[in-house]
Structure 1
């Protein structure tokens, strides 16, 4: 159970929930397949998949959950062709022109007819709540997907006081400083070989660099021209590598050999035990990585966070 991405949300006030209470709340919003005339539906499914009926999997106070979304696939060209055929038949039969408004009505009718036979696309999005760390972590490649899960969870719980973390200085400023050496690179962080540079002007361009020495003259020339670093490949504590963007989105997470060896040392033959061990190792490592990264980026702005008494 390794996440491939990590979109972090910070709890803005003390929050705690037991696995049992979370299970009860999510059961009320459990996934149900699309009906014949529905285009999409989402709901909560067992975090362990076929290995358990429980929607929540907990270990060491971390609660793993999974949101499933089903979408009916109606290819646009197929729908368009059917509309044109139906409109042409009407024109021949009734000897009149089918106008745009009527074609729109035909399109809606045809889509309703096609939906019961349409193929479905299913996606699962994982996340875990870490009340003791004050964060919700979502395995999502985009901010929109992460926000969708957070909103759905908020609906299930009735309240979910979270927001993306905020740092004291702009991440792009820190990234750029690390490359042009005006900001010290923390000992726990090492540079990868990939970055994205943007010209901050209104019509500025974008340069994507991959497989390069990020301290090379080629990169430095772009920085001296005023470009800013908005994405940067990093390795944390020689254990975890990833690409971090200016919105603090962590993508392409890769857990290193040390952590993999810890998992290999677990004496467990069944899949559920291995899953549980991987989840525990991952959450413990991310519990170090997340605050460490926020500190490396200049420190977290906690002015809007209500601290525990």
Structure 2
């Protein structure tokens, strides 16, 4: 249940929807397995898997929902190889070269024939809705995947107005400042051992792991006009993470004390109780940490992004 990554979104004019109504809305968009002709499908599933029947878990204002995405994997190379064989066979039989449109039609036929036999890949993606702070966090490394889950939630609710979380200070500018000037770092910030530095010109990207970020080598790179696009940070007693220049929070690792607190909670060997215990402890830590991160970055931006969706 412990999240690994987060893409964060600010809710605007959030719909007033009770837990019972939201449960019904999610159930109406429940996941159904792919049929033979479908390439992909997305729907809600129970966060507890077979151990639960609820599509929504809500604890102290924190909501947990889980989407299930299935996709058929049909490698391009397989289609290409089959297409080349069929084109050669048809051209030999007819004594002529096939036109481009004929090849495209043949490619579509091959895709439709092979798709039902393709492997199916399943992926679960958790969504956290903090109703007190009107914040949504989606546990995925992919911004595109996060947007897909938001689209599913929007379809389930009828409307949903959100924007990617934004701050007054751009993350890249702040991270570069923190890295180059130890005195600029907030008192509650811990600097990690991972960084990605981008050059302003065409000198590419430099990635470093398990290094002393206060070393002379890192400072020299900053002096050559490189900027930090990713930076490992931490909050003592809470978590560590890698902050990205788009404000994505990745490679989350929760503090041992928090994990121990969850482990010491008596769940009576009930997997549902364990899920909800871990979720509540995790989201309380995340909510507090995100507030600190926003403060580190000069507060939240008041400008509504053009990417607002409804």
Q: TM-score, normalised by structure 1?
A: 0.93
Which position in structure 1 is the counterpart of 2:67? Answer: 67
Mapped contact 1:62–1:131 kept (Cα < 8 A): yes
Q: How does 1:83-162 map to 2 (within 5 A)?
A: 83-162=83-162
How many angstroms does 1:243 deviate by? 0.3
Mapped contact 2:72–2:121 kept (Cα < 8 A): yes
How many angstroms does 1:109 deviate by? 0.7
SS at match of 2:136: strand
How many angstroms does 1:183 deviate by? 5.8
Structure 1 Cα separation of the partners of residues 182 and 288 of structure 2: 26
Mapped contact 1:15–1:134 kept (Cα < 8 A): no
Q: How does 1:234-245 map to 2 (within 5 A)?
A: 234-245=233-244
Which position in structure 1 is the counterpart of 2:49? Answer: 49
Which position in structure 2 is the counterpart of 1:249? Answer: 248
**Which portions of structure 1, spanning 4 or more consecutive aligned residues, are displaced by more than 6 angstroms?**
none
Which position in structure 2 is the counterpart of 1:211? Answer: 210
Mapped contact 1:174–1:183 kept (Cα < 8 A): no
* Shift in CA distance, 88/6, structure 1 to aligned 2, threshold 3 Å: same
SS at match of 1:84: helix
Which position in structure 2 is the counterpart of 1:270? Answer: 270
* Shift in CA distance, 254/45, structure 1 to aligned 2, threshold 3 Å: same
Mapped contact 1:233–1:242 kept (Cα < 8 A): yes
Which position in structure 1 is the counterpart of 2:13? Answer: 13
Structure 2 Cα separation of the partners of residues 106 and 185 of structure 1: 60
> Which stretches in structure 2 are left out of the alignment for 5+ residues?
306-310
> Which stretches in structure 1 are left out of the alignment for 5+ residues?
none
How many angstroms does 1:304 deviate by? 4.2
SS at match of 2:38: coil
Mapped contact 1:79–1:110 kept (Cα < 8 A): yes
Which position in structure 1 is the counterpart of 2:76? Answer: 76
SS at match of 1:38: coil
Mapped contact 1:197–1:229 kept (Cα < 8 A): yes
How many angstroms does 1:153 deviate by? 1.0
Q: Deviations over 1:32-69 (max 9, x none)?
A: 12222111111111111111122112222211111111
How many angstroms does 1:161 deviate by? 1.7
Structure 2 Cα separation of the partners of residues 20 and 235 of structure 1: 37
When structure 1 is superposed on structure 2, of 211-220 and 145-154 the one drifting more is: 145-154
Mapped contact 1:167–1:297 kept (Cα < 8 A): yes
Mapped contact 1:241–1:253 kept (Cα < 8 A): yes
Mapped contact 1:16–1:131 kept (Cα < 8 A): no
Which position in structure 1 is the counterpart of 2:260? Answer: 261
- Matched positions, count: 304
Structure 2 Cα separation of the partners of residues 87 and 24 of structure 1: 51
Q: How does 1:23-34 map to 2 (within 5 A)?
A: 23-34=23-34
When structure 1 is superposed on structure 2, of 156-165 and 279-288 the one drifting more is: 156-165
Mapped contact 2:198–2:226 kept (Cα < 8 A): yes
Q: How does 1:293-304 map to 2 (within 5 A)?
A: 293-304=293-304
Structure 2 Cα separation of the partners of residues 153 and 106 of structure 1: 37
Structure 2 Cα separation of the partners of residues 251 and 91 of structure 1: 52
How many angstroms does 1:88 deviate by? 2.3
Mapped contact 2:154–2:160 kept (Cα < 8 A): yes
Which position in structure 2 is the counterpart of 1:226? Answer: 225
Structure 2 Cα separation of the partners of residues 14 and 273 of structure 1: 28
Structure 1 Cα separation of the partners of residues 163 and 243 of structure 2: 18
SS at match of 2:69: strand
Q: TM-score, normalised by structure 2?
A: 0.93
Q: Deviations over 1:174-221 (max 9, x none)?
A: 1111121176211221000011111223x3421111111111100101
